[in-house]
C-alpha cells in the first residue's frame, strides 16, 4: 500500500471516529437522554461535527486525494482502494462547500427541533414544532445555496441520500408507478374485504418484544455486535461494523407493529454488519444509498416477514404466545390480516399497496418547501388535503398527520423518496434471489435464512459504498432502478390475498 494512501486512511479513520462519537450521542438523545439535556447535546454534537468537518475538508486531505487520483489512474474501478479514493473525493468535494460553522448551527437547531417534535407529537400540536421546522427549512435552503445551481434545487438534497439521482428521475419513476398502484387499489377495494380486528386486541408487550427479538436472531442479527432499545420513532444506527444498534416501539392500539418494526430495522442492521471489516472507519462503510438500504429493511419486513411461507413456520409459535387473541384464527386468516389493504394515517404501519402513496405525498411537500411554494405554517392543512387526495382519508389530528415522522426535525429533507425507491429495488433483488435460490421458499418455511443472508452478503452487503446505487442495482439484477418487478410482486401477492 502506498504511503499516501496510508496517510489518507489514518485521517479518514479519525474523521470516522469523530462522526461515530456524534452518532452515539444522537442514539442516546433518542433513547435514554433526559429531556433537559437537549441544549447541551446540541452543542456537543455541533462541536464533534465541526471537528470532523475541519479535519475532513483540510488542504492535506485535498492534496492527498489529488496525488492518489494520479497514482491510481487506470486501476479497476472495482478495486477497493481505487473505490475508496473515488468515493472519498466525491464526499470531499461536497463537504468542502459547507462551512464548519454551518455544521455547528445545524446540529444545535436540529437537536432542539427533535425535542420540540417529540413534545408536539405527544400533544398533537403542530404549533410547538412549527418555529423549529421553519429554522430547519431555512437551513436547508442555505445548504442548497452552497452548491452550484442544479436542474432543480431539490436535486442537491436528494443527491446526499441517493447519489446521482435527480428529482426528475424520481418523478418519472413515481408517475409510472402511481397509476398501476391506483388500479390495483381500486380492484382490491371492489373485492371482499379482509377481517383483521384480532390484530388490535391487548397483546402483552414483553411477549411481543421477546418474539420480535427471536425473529431478529433467526434472521442473523448478531447480538454481540448490537442491541435493541426503545425510541419514539424506530431507527437503526451504526458506530462501526461491530456495533450496529436498532430501536423499536410498542403501540398499544397496534401491537403487532412492534414485530414488523424490529424486522425492518434488522434489515438495515444486517446490511451494515455485512460491510467488509476493512471498510470500517472509512467512507466505504455502510450502504450504497438510502434506497438500497431501504430495499434491505423492506425486504426483511415485507417480502420475508409478511410472506405465507414465513408464517407457516412461525405462526404456531406466535399463536401459542397469544392463544386468547388468536383463538379460532387460522394461518390463512392471520396471513391475510397482516397483509390487509386499507388506507391508513401512519406511514410506518401502512400496507404494501398503499405505502408508496405516503411517500409520494411527502415528496411533494418537501419539493414545495424547498421551492418556496409551500410555507411551513400551511403544512397541516396541505398534508390533510393531500391525504384525502391520495388515500381518501383525512387525519383527525396533527399526530396522525404532519407530526408522525421525525425526519424533518433532524434536517433530513430529501430523504423520503428513497423509501419508495427501496420498495422497488427490493422486488428487483427478490426476483434475482429467487432465480439463484430456487428453494428459498422451502427454507423460509423451515425458519432458515442462512442462504438468503449469505446471498445478500456476497452480492450486495460486501460492497458497502463502492458503487453508485444505479450501477450496483444493474450489476446485481441486470437493470437500473425500475418499478416493473415491484408491480409484478404486488399484483401477484394481492391477487392471491383478495382473489382478484
The DSSP result for 174-194, as a single string, is HHHHHHHHHHHHHHHHTSPPP
User: Which domains, ranges and CATH numbers included, belong to the chain?
Assistant: 3-149 (no CATH), 167-498 (1.10.1370.30)
The whole-number pLDDT of residue 349 equals: 87
With 90 as the cut, is the pLDDT of residue 233 above it? no
294 is catalytic: no
The whole-number pLDDT of residue 270 equals: 98
Q: Can you read off the three cell numbers belonging to residue 258?
A: 412492534
Q: Which helix (H) or strand (E) holds 245?
A: strand 243-248
Q: Can you read off the three cell numbers belonging to residue 153?
A: 434545487
Q: Is the dihedral of CA 476, 482, 487, 488 positive or negative?
A: negative
Give the confidence band of 252 by pLDDT, cuts at 50, 70, 90.
very high
13-27, 67-81, 336-350: which has the highest mean pLDDT?
13-27
Task: Find the radius of gyration of the CA atoms of the chain.
Answer: 22
The whole-number pLDDT of residue 77 equals: 79
Specify the DSSP class assigned to residue 165. -
The whole-number pLDDT of residue 500 equals: 86
Q: Half-sphere exposure (CA, 13 Å, Cβ side) for 7?
A: 11
Q: Which residues contact 92 (CB under 8 A, 6 or more apart)?
A: 56, 57, 61, 62, 65
**Average pLDDT along the chain:** 95
Query: Which pTM value belongs to this model?
Result: 0.94
| Whole-angstrom distance, CA of residue 114 vs CA of residue 318 | 36
Choosing from 105, 265, 272, 301, the catalytic residue is 265
| Whole-angstrom distance, CA of residue 84 vs CA of residue 81 | 5
Specify the DSSP class assigned to residue 467. S
Strands 243-248 and 228-230: parallel
With 80 as the cut, is the pLDDT of residue 224 above it? yes
The whole-number pLDDT of residue 404 equals: 94
Q: Which helix (H) or strand (E) holds 229?
A: strand 228-230
User: Using DSSP, how many helices (H) and how many strands (E) does the chain show?
Assistant: 20, 3
With 70 as the cut, is the pLDDT of residue 1 above it? no
**How large is the average pLDDT for residues 178-204?**
93
Give the confidence band of 74 by pLDDT, cuts at 50, 70, 90.
confident
The whole-number pLDDT of residue 157 equals: 96
**How large is the average pLDDT for residues 156-173?**
93
| Nearest-10 crossing angle of helices 3-31, 59-71 | 130
Amino acid at each position: 500500500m502506498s504511503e499516501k494512501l496510508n496517510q489518507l486512511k489514518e485521517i479518514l479513520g479519525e474523521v470516522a471516529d469523530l462522526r461515530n462519537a456524534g452518532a452515539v450521542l444522537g442514539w442516546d438523545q433518542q433513547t435514554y437522554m433526559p429531556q433537559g439535556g437537549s441544549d447541551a447535546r446540541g452543542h456537543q454534537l455541533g462541536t464533534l461535527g465541526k471537528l470532523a468537518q475541519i479535519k475532513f475538508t483540510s488542504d492535506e486531505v485535498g492534496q492527498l486525494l489529488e496525488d492518489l487520483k494520479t497514482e491510481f489512474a487506470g486501476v479497476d474501478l472495482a478495486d477497493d482502494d481505487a473505490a475508496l479514493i473515488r468515493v472519498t473525493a466525491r464526499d470531499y468535494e461536497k463537504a468542502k462547500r459547507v462551512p464548519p460553522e454551518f455544521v455547528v448551527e445545524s446540529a444545535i437547531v436540529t437537536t432542539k427541533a427533535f425535542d420540540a417534535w417529540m413534545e408536539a407529537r405527544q400533544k398533537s400540536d403542530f404549533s410547538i414544532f412549527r418555529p423549529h421546522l421553519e429554522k430547519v427549512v431555512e437551513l436547508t435552503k442555505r445548504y442548497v445555496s452552497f452548491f452550484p445551481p442544479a436542474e432543480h434545487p431539490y436535486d442537491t438534497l436528494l443527491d446526499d441520500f441517493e447519489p446521482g439521482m435527480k428529482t426528475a428521475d424520481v418523478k418519472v419513476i413515481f408517475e409510472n408507478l402511481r397509476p398501476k398502484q391506483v388500479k390495483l387499489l381500486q380492484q382490491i377495494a371492489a373485492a371482499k374485504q379482509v377481517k383483521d380486528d384480532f390484530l388490535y386486541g391487548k397483546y402483552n408487550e414483553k411477549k411481543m418484544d421477546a418474539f420480535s427479538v427471536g425473529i431478529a436472531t433467526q434472521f442473523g442479527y448478531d447480538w454481540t455486535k448490537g442491541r435493541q432499545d426503545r425510541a419514539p420513532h424506530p431507527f437503526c444506527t451504526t458506530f462501526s461494523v461491530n456495533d450496529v444498534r436498532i430501536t423499536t416501539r410498542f403501540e398499544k392500539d397496534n401491537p403487532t407493529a412492534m414485530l414488523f418494526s424490529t424486522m425492518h430495522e434488522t434489515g438495515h442492521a444486517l446490511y451494515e454488519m455485512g460491510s467488509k471489516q476493512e471498510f470500517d472507519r472509512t467512507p466505504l462503510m455502510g450502504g450504497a444509498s438510502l434506497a438500497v438500504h431501504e430495499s434491505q429493511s423492506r425486504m426483511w419486513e415485507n417480502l420475508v416477514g409478511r410472506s405465507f411461507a414465513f408464517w407457516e413456520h412461525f405462526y404456531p409459535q406466535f399463536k401459542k404466545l397469544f392463544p386468547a387473541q388468536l383463538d379460532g384464527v387460522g394461518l390463512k386468516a392471520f396471513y391475510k390480516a397482516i397483509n390487509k389493504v386499507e388506507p391508513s394515517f401512519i406511514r410506518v404501519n401502512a400496507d404494501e399497496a398503499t405505502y408508496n402513496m405516503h411517500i409520494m405525498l411527502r415528496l411533494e411537500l418537501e419539493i414545495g418547501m424547498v421551492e418556496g411554494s409551500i410555507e411551513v405554517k400551511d403544512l397541516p392543512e396541505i398534508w390533510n388535503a393531500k391525504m384525502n387526495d391520495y388515500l381518501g382519508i383525512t387525519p383527525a389530528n396533527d399526530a396522525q398527520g404532519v407530526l408522525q415522522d421525525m425526519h424533518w426535525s433532524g434536517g433530513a429533507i430529501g430523504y423520503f423518496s428513497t423509501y419508495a425507491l427501496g420498495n422497488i429495488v427490493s422486488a428487483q433483488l427478490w426476483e434475482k434471489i429467487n432465480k439463484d435460490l430456487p428453494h428459498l421458499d422451502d427454507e423460509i418455511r423451515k425458519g432458515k435464512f442462512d442462504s438468503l443472508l449469505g446471498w445478500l452478503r456476497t452480492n450486495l452487503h460486501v460492497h458497502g459504498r463502492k458503487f453508485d446505487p444505479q450501477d450496483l442495482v444493474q450489476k446485481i439484477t441486470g437493470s437500473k432502478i425500475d418499478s416493473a418487478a415491484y408491480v409484478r410482486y404486488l399484483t401477484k401477492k394481492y391477487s392471491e390475498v383478495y382473489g382478484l
